[in-house]
Amino acid sequence: MRRTRATGRRGAQSIAAATVLATGLLLMVFKIRADSEPGAIPLALVLIGIAWLLAARWRRPPETADDARTPPG
């Protein structure tokens, strides 16, 4: 499968969303251990990361779109 510019951008968005999600989870763990409550900013980062990751996955085109145009063989 060829990798187009749009596919690379969507992959980068998935990586960025996963980074935001991981940062939020890490901050939430540290905040819970320190104050026994999660805090608003880590919770917001987790929710934004999840929503962004789902949106990036949902907008991705099907993997077989290029394969349907090329003849077999």
Per residue in 26-68, pLDDT tens?
999 999 999 999 999 999 999 999 999 999 888 766 565 555 5
- Domain ranges in the chain are 7-61
pTM attached to this predicted model: 0.68
The total number of residues shown for the chain amounts to 73
Higher per-residue pLDDT: 4 or 15: 15
Distance CA 71, CA 54 (A): 33
**Which band of pLDDT confidence, cut at 50, 70 and 90, is reported for residue 24?**
very high
